[in-house]
Structure 1
Amino acid sequence: MSDQLTKSGVRTGLYIGGEERFTDEVLTVADPAKPGVVVGEAAAASPADVADAVAAAKAAFPAWSALSATARAAQMTAAIEGIAEARDDDAAILAQENGKVRMEAWVDSLVLQIRWGLALSLAEEVDAAKVLEPITGAIPTRTTVAHQALGVVTIIVPFNWPIAILGASLPHALLAGNAVIVKPPPTTPLATTRVIQRIAEKLPAGVLNVITGLDENMGGLIQNPDVAKVCFTGSVNGGKRIMEMASKSLTRVTLELGGNDAAVFLEDAILDDAHLDRLYAAIYDTTGQICMNAKRVFVHRSRMDEVVAGLTARLEQAKLGYGLDEGTTMGPLHQSAQKAFVDEIIQEAKDAGADVREFGELPAGDLAGGNFVRPAIVVNPDLNLRVVTQEQFGPVIPIIPFDTEEEAVRLANDTWGGLCGSVWTANPETANRVGSQLVCGYVWVNDHGATRLDLRAPFGGMKQSGFGREQGIEGVRAFQDTRSISHLDPEVLASMHH
C-alpha cells in the first residue's frame, strides 16, 4: 500500500482486482470537530471503476467458491495476520474523520479481528449437508440439501463503526465462498479503506475489492446484474433506497437499519454503580450514534429518581472535546445535519415544557463551531415528542415512568423499530418473560449496547429495523443459497409399483 500523504493528510485509493487505483476526482474528508480542517482524501470512483470492480469480483468468484470452506478459512487466517500492527495509526485517522474518541476508534479495528476469528471457527460447519433418505412405498429419492455461494456480494457500511461493522458480514461472505466489494462510507472512508486493503492484498486478486466514491456513482454496486446480494448497514431511509434500487435487478438484500431501542427497568432492577455505568455507556457511547444504543428508557415509577440521579452523576463528569485529546469522553456528532436535528428535538422538548437537563460545556477555540451537542436527559416527556418517537442518534435520551409490567411491554413495542431491547431485573424468570415479549431481534438482560453483543449469535432487526441476520452460522447462510440434489433409488421406486 502506498500510504501517500498529500498536503491534506491521508490519501487512499480504490482497490480493484488486486491493484490500487487512484482517481482524478477525490472525496475530501472533513474533521467534524474542527471546522475547515481536512483529514485527507479518498479516491472517488466513476461508474466505470465500479463496473471494473464487479467484473474483477466476478472473475475471481469461480476459483474462490470452488475451494472448500476450510481451504478458504486457511487463506483468510493468513490475510488477517498483522492487522493490529497499524492499529494505532488507523485509530488516529478514524478518530479524526469520524469524531469519536481514540479508544473507541482503536476498538473498531479490534472488533473486526475478533469477528473474523469467530467466523473462521465455523469453517467446518459451512460445507455441512443434510441427506433425506428414500421412504419405501412413498418417496423414491435420496436428496442432499446443501449450500452454494451466491457470487458477487456488495457490503456497504456506515460512518459510526465502519471497520467493526464489516466484521459482522465480510468474513462470513468470504467464508461462504463469495467475492466481495466493500463500500466504505463517503464521509469516513480513510481508515476503513486502509484496513480492508491490507487484508485484500493477501487474498487472491479480485476476491476482495474496495470502492469509495459519491453515492450517485455507486448504483452499479447494487443494480449491476452480476451483483447477487447487497448487505447494507445504515439508516431506515437509506435501507428503503437500497431495497428500491435492488428491486430493479432482483438483487437480494440484508438490511441492518436504525433502532429505537427500549431499556426496561422493572421494579426490582439492580441499580448499583456497575449497572448504571452499563446504562450510561449504552446511551452515550459514540455520542449516541449507534443503532443498537438505548434510545428510550422506561423505568418503574418507584425507581425513577434513582435512574435519573445515576445518569446525572455520570453526565456531570462528561468532557466534550477532540477525540484524540487526553481526557475527552465525548466527541462531536459526525455530521452537521445530525447536530441540527438533535438540537431541534431537544429544543422541541423544551418548548413543550418537558424537563430537559443538559450537561457538560461546549468546547471553544479551534473546536468552536464543531458538531458538538451537550448531552441531555429528558425526564417524563410527552410520548408524542420526537425525542421519544424518532431515533435521536445523538446524546439525548427520554426517561419514561411506567406502573405495570404490561404497560412497560406495550410502550416498549409501540414503535417503528425492532432492533434490540433490554430488561433490567434481579429475577431471571421475569427477564425471560418480559424479554420474550419485546418485538426485536436481540435482547440483553441487565445490560445493553454494542460492546456487550455476543459476537457468536445471529444479529438483526424486526419491523423497520431491517431483516436478515449477521454473525454465526446464520450469518454465513445469509450469503448462500440452499440447493437440493435428488437421486432416484430404483429399488424403492420398484417397490412402489408392486
Structure 2
Amino acid sequence: MTSTTDTAAPVTTGLYIGGRERRAGQTLEIADPGKPGAVVGHAAAASADDVDDAVAAAKAAFPAWAALTAEQRADTMRAALEGIAEHRDEDAAVLSRENGKIRMEAWVDSLVFEIRWNLALALAAEVDATKVLPPAPGIPVSTTVAYQPLGVVTVIVPFNWPIAILAASLPHALLAGNTAIVKPPPTAPLATTRVVQRIAEKLPPGVLNVVTGKDADMSALISSPDVAKVCFTGSVAGGKRIMEMASKALTRVTLELGGNDAAVILADAILDDTHLDRLYAAIFDTTGQICMNAKRIYVHRSRLDEVVDGLAARLERAVIGYGLNEGTTMGPLHSPAQKEFVAGLIEEATAAGADVREYGTLPEDPELRGGNFLRPALVIDPDPSLRVVTEEQFGPVIPLLPFDTEDEAVEAANATWAGLCGSVWTADPATANRVGARLVCGYVWVNDHGATRLDLRAPFGGMKQSGMGREQGIEGVRAFQDTRSIAHLQPEDAAGS
C-alpha cells in the first residue's frame, strides 16, 4: 500500500486477506471524475479464488474472535483504531480525487468513521447481556436468553461516503463477535482500502479482510454458504440484486438503499439564515449525491418565494470546481453516466414547462473541461409526475412543490416508493411531532435534514424500497447477532422425569 503526501501521485492498493497484503493478477484503473483522462491510481482486482480465500480466512478466524467477551473485543478494536487521524489529510486527498467531492467533505468522511467506531465500542457492556425467564405455570423451566454472533459478514459500501458509511455497520459486526470482509466501491476503492487495511493489520489475522475488484468476480461474498450476512449500502436496483443472490443460501441481509426524501416546510417555519443554510446543505452536500439528502421540497404556498430566494442566493455563491482546489464548494458528479442522468432530468423538466433556474459557472480550466461538472438547478412548481420528483436525482437539482394544507403535504410526501428519511420545518414542536409521526420513513429531522445532522447513536434505516434492517446503536449490534435460549429443567421436575 503506497503512502505519499503528494496528492497528485498515483495510489496503489492491494488486497488484505488473512493478515497479509496480497497483490492480484489484474488491477482496477481508478479515474478522476473532475479531470478527464487522469488516473488517480490502481486497486487490486481480486479473482474468484482471492474472494474464496477471504471467506475462508474470515471463517477460520471466527471461533477465536467469537469466544472473546465483547469487552475484550472492544479493547482490541480500540487499539486498532489508534493513529487513524495521522493519515486523515492524506486519505481525504485520495478520496477527493477518486470520488470528486470537496476536500472538507472527504476529511469529514474519515472523521465520522472514527466517531462511529468509538460510539460502537461504548456499547460493549450491552452486547453480552442476557435475561432469564423464570418458571411459570405449565412451564417448568428456567430459560436463559443470550445473544450469539452470526459468523462471517460481508460489508459492501458505495462511492459517495464510503469510509463513514462503513462504520455504520463494521464496528458493530466485529463487536458482536463476527469476522468481516469489506468490499469498497469499484470506482472509488483507494482511500477506503487504505483505512481498512491499517485497522486490519492490528486485529488478529482473518478478523478483518478487504477485497477490491470487479463485481462479476465478487459473487462469493454474497452467495457463499459460509457468509452469514451481507450488509449493503447502495441503489435500490443493487439491493434487489444482492437480495436475490443472498437468497440462494438464505443469507441474511441489511439493505440501506436509495431515498427520495421529502422536506415539508410548513407555514410557520423559521426561515432565517441558519435554517436556510441547513436546508441548502441538506440538498446540495456532496453535489446532491447522498441517499439521505432532501430530494423533494414541499413548501407552504405562502413561503415558497422565501425558500426559492434563500436557496437561489446560496447557489449564486456556489463555486463549481475541482474538489481539492481552494474555494471550491461543489465538485463534479462521480460518473459521466450520473451527469447525463441528472442533466436529462433538468432537460425534461424544462421541456415540460417547469420554471427551471440554473446557477453557477462551470470551470474554465482546460484540465477540467469535459469533467463531470453540472450547474445546480431549482425546479419550481413542476408537475408531480416528472422524473425530477418521482425518481432519486442523486445530483444538484431539486424540485420545490407548493402545498396549501398539511394533509396535502403529508400525502404527497408519502406518495413515493421510498421511505428513508424526511423532515418537518415548523416553529411548533407539537406540530413537528404530529407531522413527523405521519411520515412513512425510518428517520425524521425537525428544522434540519441531512447526513451531517444524523444522530450517530440512533438506529438508522429505511422503509419501503429504501431498504430493510437497521444500523447504528445497540440495534445495529443486534442486527449482527441472533438469540440463543437455554432452558434448564427445575430440579424437582428433573428428578421425576
TM-score normalised according to structure 2 size: 0.98
Aligned residue identity for 2:362: L
Aligned residue identity for 2:191: A
Cα drift, residue 3 of structure 1: 3.7
Conserved? CA contact 2:358–2:377, under 8 Å: yes
Cα drift, residue 493 of structure 1: 7.6
What is the alpha-carbon distance in structure 2 between the residues aligned to residue 253 and residue 138 of structure 1?
37
Match of 1:53 in 2: 54
Aligned residue identity for 1:181: I
Conserved? CA contact 2:132–2:142, under 8 Å: yes
Deviation by residue 1:161-186 (Cα, 9 ceiling, x = unmatched): 00000110000000000000000000
**Aligned with 1:439: secondary structure?**
coil
What is the alpha-carbon distance in structure 2 between the residues aligned to residue 450 and residue 7 of structure 1?
29
Match of 1:22 in 2: 23
What is the alpha-carbon distance in structure 2 between the residues aligned to residue 283 and residue 116 of structure 1?
27
Aligned residue identity for 1:186: P
- Mapping of residues 62-81 of structure 1, within 5 Å: 62-81=63-82
Match of 1:152 in 2: 152
Conserved? CA contact 1:157–1:183, under 8 Å: yes
Match of 2:283 in 1: 283
Cα drift, residue 2 of structure 1: 5.0
What is the alpha-carbon distance in structure 1 between the residues aligned to residue 315 and residue 3 of structure 2?
40
Cα drift, residue 8 of structure 1: 6.7
Cα drift, residue 462 of structure 1: 0.1
2:408 is the counterpart of 1:407:
yes
Conserved? CA contact 2:7–2:93, under 8 Å: no
2:335 is the counterpart of 1:343:
no
Aligned residue identity for 1:20: E
Match of 2:397 in 1: 396
Deviation by residue 1:451-488 (Cα, 9 ceiling, x = unmatched): 00000000000000000000000000000111111111
* Unaligned segments of structure 2, at least 5 residues: none
Match of 2:358 in 1: 358
Aligned residue identity for 1:11: T
What is the alpha-carbon distance in structure 1 between the residues aligned to residue 25 and residue 95 of structure 2?
23
**Aligned with 1:225: secondary structure?**
coil
Cα drift, residue 259 of structure 1: 0.1
- CA-based RMSD of the aligned residues comes to 1.5
What is the alpha-carbon distance in structure 2 between the residues aligned to residue 79 and residue 231 of structure 1?
22
Conserved? CA contact 2:230–2:251, under 8 Å: yes
Cα drift, residue 7 of structure 1: 10
Cα drift, residue 490 of structure 1: 3.5
Match of 1:238 in 2: 238
Conserved? CA contact 1:3–1:12, under 8 Å: no
What is the alpha-carbon distance in structure 2 between the residues aligned to residue 423 and residue 57 of structure 1?
44
Deviation by residue 1:405-458 (Cα, 9 ceiling, x = unmatched): 011100000000000000000000000000000000000000000000000000
What is the alpha-carbon distance in structure 2 between the residues aligned to residue 309 and residue 205 of structure 1?
56
Aligned residue identity for 1:329: T
Match of 2:313 in 1: 313
Cα drift, residue 491 of structure 1: 3.4
Deviation by residue 1:132-176 (Cα, 9 ceiling, x = unmatched): 0001x3210111111100000000000000000011000000000
Match of 1:89 in 2: 90
Cα drift, residue 489 of structure 1: 1.0
Cα drift, residue 59 of structure 1: 0.4
User: Identity of counterpart residues, as a percentage?
Assistant: 76
Deviation by residue 1:334-384 (Cα, 9 ceiling, x = unmatched): 011000000001000000000000000111211110001100000000000
Match of 1:108 in 2: 109
What is the alpha-carbon distance in structure 1 between the residues aligned to residue 126 and residue 353 of structure 2?
57
Aligned length: 495
Match of 1:292 in 2: 292
The structure 1 segments of at least 4 consecutive aligned residues displaced by more than 6 Å after TM superposition are 4-8, 492-495
**Aligned with 2:244: secondary structure?**
helix
Conserved? CA contact 1:223–1:251, under 8 Å: yes
TM-score normalised according to structure 1 size: 0.98
What is the alpha-carbon distance in structure 2 between the residues aligned to residue 209 and residue 201 of structure 1?
9
* Unaligned segments of structure 1, at least 5 residues: none
Match of 1:38 in 2: 39
What is the alpha-carbon distance in structure 2 between the residues aligned to residue 28 and residue 159 of structure 1?
15
